Amino acid sequence: MPTMPRIANVASSRGCPYHCTFCPKMFPQWRYRMRSAENIFQEILTLQAAGFEMAFFQDENFSHSITRVEQLCHMILEHNVQMRFAFQGTIHHLPESVFQLLHRAGFDALFVGLESGSDAQLKRYGKPATSKGLAEAVRRAKKAHMFIIGFFIFGAPGETQQDFQATQNFIRTAQPHICGATALSIHPQALLWEDLIGQDELASLEFSGPQKAYVISGEHSKQVISQWRRGFQQAFAQSWRNWRRLIDAIDLFLHNPSVRLVIKNALKDVAALLSRKVAKPFGKPR
């Protein structure tokens, strides 16, 4: 692992305004609550004074309020804060101007739950976006030189082979820089839990945690899940055979300070390792 900058975690909100069917945070205490931009900014100043170089906003949905995002970014720029940032949240509703503002303020990376490239599957999940809207948001974020880590889910109730192929096509065409995927887990308190398992009291403590959908009778088999897992990996690998990936890599190195820092630190670590290996034969005998 390359040497990383000092990173702090920040929680600027609680809950999420959306109601995705797989998300367990549906009960009342998980209603969406936001800290003010001024309150967050004061924490950023404290972190900077303590020597932190980067902050990761680990909110369920940091980017939901465009107004709050804009206010925070303007404060960071006005006070010339010398930190870099990353966040997780929805992006389909963010215009290009907000992505550009985020990047100018130091936001270099975003983590987003894209979930599926199929509109039918996104609707089953209760997601607030379409596959076209998500692909266009990825394009806008790339145009603002942001590093995009997208996450997908497969193996959900009702998902078809055509739905999964739409996800593969999305990965090949939208090309988030990094893609992760997992078989769907059913969580207590999620709408899918109620649909598939019911509202009865849990039979045991062991059964009180998330359950993989494929272990539930009538859902996709482990064989199908394994096939789709391999299909996801193949689609991501194929996306890197496109010449646009080279342009993406050059753009990030030229315009994304966090990516550039990680690359430079990695090169330094490799150089240091090589120098130790070269110097070792000439060291003093034991």
pLDDT tens-digit series, residues 41-86: 999 999 999 999 999 999 999 999 999 999 999 999 999 999 999 9
Answer yes or no: is 1 within a domain.
no
Domain that holds residue 115: 7-278
Answer yes or no: is 108 within a domain.
yes
The domain that holds 24 is classified in CATH as 3.80.30.20
Answer yes or no: is 176 within a domain.
yes
Q: What percentage of the chain reaches a pLDDT higher than 90?
A: 70
Answer yes or no: is 19 within a domain.
yes
* pLDDT in the model for residue 199: 65
* pLDDT in the model for residue 286: 46
- Longest Cα pair distance anywhere in the chain, in angstroms? 71
Answer yes or no: is 286 within a domain.
no
* pLDDT in the model for residue 282: 47
pLDDT tens-digit series, residues 27-41: 555 678 999 999 999
| Number of domains the chain contains | 1
Answer yes or no: is 284 within a domain.
no
